């Protein structure tokens, strides 16, 4: 049977046609574009917290550092998809990061509520504390990853055109990966100066205990 792709709704009721909204090229391009969004947005959140940290001098607590790690994990899945090809296992990494982010954020909200009450702690953005935004972002990220996992067509389209180490990386991906590495390096340096070789303190210190200068 010749399963000719068609955009007509009548194709839904015919055995000889396959209903298809986007062409193969556009569908694969959309999948890659969404992965770029999934890569950059979590890193922008971490970058904004680092900028706030530098400007205000307020260091992150242990939960805040764990939240940054969760954002990195969410971004790792799209990074692997763009570099090595789109796979369900890569989306699974991002889903685990979203669950981890939500768990850490809710745990911190409960701890804050027990200590200082419902007023909350930390900076407020658009009427909500950062921890509340982290819970919302974790839900959005989790739902987004589940939707991408349910979109099976992208895996079939990406299989004949995998991104491998033997092929050159395009300029956009190079810029995105450089941005990712810069944010990770900044966060790592901050964590080393704040926590040193041990575990980060629950309460954020006023200055960097391990600042060498």
Residue 155: predicted pLDDT = 79
Distance, in Å, from the CA atom of 46 to the CA atom of 53, rounded to the nearest integer, reads 10
State the pLDDT at residue 153.
76
In the chain, the percentage of residues whose pLDDT exceeds 90 is 11
Residues 182 and 121: their CA atoms lie apart, in Å, by 28
- Split at pLDDT 50, 70, 90, the class of 109 is confident
Predicted pLDDT of residue 74: 92
Residue with tokens 């987004």: 144
In the predicted model, is pLDDT for residue 126 greater than 90? no
If pLDDT is split at 50, 70 and 90, which confidence band does 139 have?
very high
pLDDT in tens, 46-99: 888 888 877 777 777 777 788 888 898 999 899 888 888 888 899 999 999 999
Mean pLDDT to the nearest integer, 4-19: 51
Q: Which two three-digit tokens encode residue 149?
A: 């996992």
Measured CA to CA, the distance from residue 95 to residue 115 in angstroms comes to: 31
Looking at residue 81, its pLDDT comes to: 87
Question: What pLDDT, on a 0 to 100 scale, did the predictor assign at position 125?
Answer: 65
Distance CA 49, CA 47 (A): 5
* pLDDT attached to residue 97: 92
Q: What is the mean pLDDT of residues 96-111?
A: 86
How many angstroms separate the Cα of 55 from the Cα of each of 60, 71, 95, 144, 178? 13, 21, 32, 32, 23
Question: Which residue did the predictor score with more confidence, 148 or 164?
Answer: 148
Q: What is the DSSP string of the chain?
A: ---EEE-SGGGGG-SSEEE-SS-HHHHHHHHHHHHHHHHHHHHHHHHHHHHHHHHH-----HHHHHHHHHHHHHHHHHHHHHHH---HHHHHHHHHHHHHHHHHHHHHHHHHHHHH-TT--S-EETTEEHHHHHHHHHHHHHHHHHHHHH-THHHHHHTTS---TTSPPPHHHHHHHHHHHHHHHHHHHHHHHHHTTSPPPSSPPSS-TT---
């Amino acid at each position: 049977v010749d399963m000719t792709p068609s955009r007509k709704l009548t194709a839904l009721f015919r055995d000889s046609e396959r209903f298809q909204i986007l062409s193969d090229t556009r569908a694969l391009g959309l999948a890659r574009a969404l992965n770029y969004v999934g890569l950059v947005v979590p890193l922008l959140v971490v970058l904004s917290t680092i900028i706030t940290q530098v400007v205000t001098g307020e260091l992150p607590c242990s939960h805040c550092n764990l939240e940054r790690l969760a954002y990195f994990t969410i971004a790792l899945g799209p990074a692997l998809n763009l570099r090595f090809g789109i796979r369900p296992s890569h989306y699974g990494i991002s889903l685990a990061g979203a669950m981890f982010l939500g768990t850490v954020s809710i745990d911190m909200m409960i701890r804050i509520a027990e200590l200082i009450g419902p007023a909350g702690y930390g900076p407020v953005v658009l009427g909500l504390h950062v921890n509340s935004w982290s819970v919302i972002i974790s839900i959005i990220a989790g739902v987004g990853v589940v939707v991408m996992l349910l979109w099976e067509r992208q895996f079939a389209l990406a299989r004949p055109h995998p991104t491998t180490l033997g092929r050159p990386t395009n300029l956009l991906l190079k810029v995105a990966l450089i941005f990712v590495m810069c944010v990770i390096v900044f966060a790592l340096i901050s964590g080393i100066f704040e926590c040193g070789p041990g575990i980060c303190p629950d309460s954020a210190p006023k200055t960097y205990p391990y600042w060498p200068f």
